[in-house]
Structure formats: C-alpha cells, structure tokens
Amino acid sequence: MTERRARPDNRHAQPEDFPDPRMLAVKTLQELRGGEVTLDELLSKHSFGLPSLDRNFLRQLLGTTLRHLGEIDAMLAPRYHPPQDRTASRLTNILRLGVAQLFFMDTADHGAVDSTVNLARDAGLHRYVKLINAVLRGLQRDGFEWPENVEGWQLNVPAWLRGSWKKAYGAEMAQGIAQASLGYAMLDLSVKDPAEAAHWAEEMDGVVLPTGTVRLEGRGRIRKLPGYKDGKWWVQDAAASIPAKLFAAYEGKTIYDLCAAPGGKTMQLAAMGAQAIAVDKSEGRLKRVYENLERVELGAAVVIGDATDLAPDTPRADAVLLDAPCSATGTIRRHPDILLRQNDKLMRSLLPIQTKLLNQADKLLNVGGELIYCTCSLQPEEGEHQIKSFLADHPNYERKPITADELGGWDEAINDAGELRILPLYMQEYGGIDGFFCARLVKKS
C-alpha cells in the first residue's frame, strides 16, 4: 500500500535537538526484537519532542516496514548475506528500512537509496556503505521475483499464525484474515452520549457504524478534533467498544472492569450509569485511566492491583467485565509489531493467566450476575476454548447469547454458541474492524 510522501533527506539541515527519524526507526527495530516492549511504547519514547512531520514519518516508516517485513527479507535474501559480527542486525534493519522506502512508500528512488547510505554512515557502518548502495541499486535496477506460487501476504504473516488461522477458520477464510490484518485501521471513537453519535460523525465527516461507533477516515491530530477538549468522546476501536454495551442493566450496578487500562470500557460503563471499578496492575497505564476519566468528566473507582490475586475480602459485584491479556493477534492492523514480536509459545504462556483471571472473576461475581469475557485475539485457544473449559469447570454458569439486536442488527460475527467472533475481514464496507472474541455468561448459583 502506498503511503504519504516520505520525509526528504535533510540530514545535514537537521537541528541537533531533533534526531533523524530514520535513526530512531533503526533503534526501534532493534529494541522490538526482544518482544517485551511494544511499538507504541517505543514510539512514545523515541518520538517525544519530535516535530509532527518527523513523528508521523517515523510511525509510517516503521508501520510499513513491519507490515511488509516478509516481502522485504525475501527481496534482500538473494543479494545480501549478513556479516558474522555484532553489526549484523543493525545493518539488516537499515537495509530493511531502505527497501521499505524504495518499494512500499512514495519515496523517490534516489532519495530512498541516498538516505539509507547516509543512515549507515551516521550509524558508524562506513565499511558497509558500498554493500548497501549495491544491494539497493541492484533491486532498483533489476527488480525481484517472488518464489513460485507465493503471495506477499504469505511472506508477511508468520507461518505459525497462518497455520493456526487455517486450522481454525479454513484456508479461504485464513487468507482473508491475513490480507485484512495487513491493512490499515481507521480512527474509531466512542461517544459519551450515544444519542450524539450522528452529530459528531457529521461534525468530523465520519460515519456511524451499526454498533454505534463513530468512524473517521482521516486521523489528523486527535487532540485538535472537535469535542476532544470538551470530553465528548474517546478513542476506542469499534470491536473493543462492544463488550461494555452487553450488560443487562447499569444504573446503580457495581461492575468490575478487570485489566482496565487504558480505560475505554470503564468510561463506557460509567457513562451508562454503572458504579465502575477499574482494576489494573500497571500504575503507569492506570494514569491514563485517571486522565481519560477526568477529561470526559466521568467518575469511577480505580484500583492498582493484580486481578489474578485480589484480596479475599474484595467486595463482590453485580457484573464483571474481563478483557484478558492476550496475544492481540486481532489488532495487527493497528499494531503491526505483533507480526515480529508474537509467537505460538508466547501466546500459550498467556493461557494460564486467562484461566486464573476467569476464576478470579467468578469469586468477585454475585449470584445472578453477568460475566463478560473478551480478548482482542483471533486464536480460539484464547477465546472459545477458554469459555468451553470454564463452563466445564463451573456448571453453575451458562451462556447468555449475544443477539443481533444488541449490535444494531449486525449478525455476521455471532457464532452458533451466541458468542461474538469478529474477524478483521468483516465490515469491509466500512474499512474493516479489529479481530475480537466476546462471551457473556450468567452465574446461576
């Protein structure tokens, strides 16, 4: 996909206070290899204080590189063999950024090559300048050929993900999921007063999705959009906004929002009249919950604590919303670093945590109360399988099916069990949606 015109190579005109975003992109790719930090976290750190043009370019360069990483590496493979020293990964990432600009961004060919050569010099890799120049100019001149019967999406999506989706959804659906996941997400807003959704959609030239979310095609600076300072809405993906809307009643009800940060669901619950209690173990992430609640002028209790290990005397509630930590494979459109960071082993390491959280939710819930479990994962192990296992171990629970009426008539994502299984290839007429799973249970005794 072609992106906006790349930032020109003004290396020598760059003020010392503002580092070259290309160098920051190399640093970010290096730090992503460990898998423990996310792209958003690194961008927040590295882009702080950058001019908006450089900040946007940094985000676009990294997003493009990560979405096309398999293709980029396939292009490089015949022409580039990494050196057997500690410079290898840095050199490889510099070349990756060069290929991304050369073939997947709207950058002049000479600018893509020259800026990458300059980047290598600035990184202290002077002895590899001729190699970089030869590799990129060779690709520019001769192009490249894919392996026979292989498409770009097959190269960009890791084999473990492609295999798991094929097993869960079939080959044709898996291909659609992969291709949709490599696309780009639009900006979704949850409106504080749902009755005003049409007004804000018209105000910002957006549309109202069947589920009530306001979607904007262009992003711009979020803080500059109408209604932001007045707390009329908050940013929240359309899929992630659904679970909080599914409780039977809100007014005066006590509802726990477990693993609550950054607080979108907490704000929804509070806006609908619930006595919301947001729980998260990350004090840093909870700071955003405080800030968001203050901006939109909503009240909720905020508790710093590990939801898998709350005190035995923690008060019970009328309902529990559990958005469990997961592999987040449904959010690749927004977080393409998942393609690089996530793997089957890491995903499976989260399964016991999800089980513990479900058991903790049971302890917090009054008899007759509703438990909503959700994840932004496409992996059945983190969704359908978890609910099936929980129901087997807790016969005092039963599913309360989700209906199309609760989704504005949208029934495409409701499975035979009455659970919500959203795939990224759904809502294509509106620009797609994040992958998501949601089940609603009732505690009978």
Maximum Cα interatomic distance, the chain, rounded to a whole number of Å: 73
* Residue 106, annotated as binding a ligand: no
Degrees to nearest 5, angle at CA 210 with 222 and 197: 45
Q: Looking at the structure, do residues 274 and 417 belong to the same domain, yes or no?
A: yes
CA distance 280 to 258: 6
Look at 312 and 198; give whichever has higher pLDDT: 198
Chain segment 250-262, per-residue pLDDT in tens: 998 999 999 999 9
Find, among 202, 364, 260, 204, the residue nearest to 268 by Cα: 260
Q: Looking at the structure, do residues 135 and 245 belong to the same domain, yes or no?
A: no
Q: Domain range holding 311?
A: 241-443
In a domain, 399, yes or no: yes
**CATH at residue 374:** 3.40.50.150
Q: How many CB atoms lie within 10 A of CB 150?
A: 12
CA distance 171 to 177: 10
Helices (H) and strands (E) in the chain, counts: 17, 12
User: pLDDT value at position 285?
Assistant: 83
* Residue 49, annotated as binding a ligand: no
pLDDT at 210 over 50: yes
Q: Looking at the structure, do residues 105 and 245 belong to the same domain, yes or no?
A: no
H helix runs in 77-217, sequence order: 88-103, 109-122, 129-142, 152-156, 159-169, 171-181, 197-203
**142, 159, 177 - which closes a domain:** 142
Q: Residue 63 has which token pair?
A: 């997003």
Mean pLDDT of 386-403: 98
In a domain, 167, yes or no: no
Instruction: To the nearest 10°, report the CA torsion of 351, 356, 361, 367.
Output: 110
DSSP-assigned states of every residue in 185-242: --EEEEESSGGGHHHHHHHTT-EE-TTS-EEES----GGGSTTTTTT-EEE--TTTTS
**111, 142, 173 - which closes a domain:** 142
CA distance 369 to 352: 24
**Tally of structural domains, the chain:** 2
* Residue 262, annotated as binding a ligand: yes
In a domain, 16, yes or no: yes
Q: Looking at the structure, do residues 295 and 411 belong to the same domain, yes or no?
A: yes
Mean pLDDT of 110-119: 94
In a domain, 46, yes or no: yes
Chain segment 69-84, per-residue pLDDT in tens: 999 999 999 999 998 8
In a domain, 247, yes or no: yes
User: pLDDT value at position 284?
Assistant: 84
Catalytic annotation on 374? Answer: no
Given the residues 326, 374, 376, 438, select the one marked as catalytic: 376
**107, 142, 177 - which closes a domain:** 142
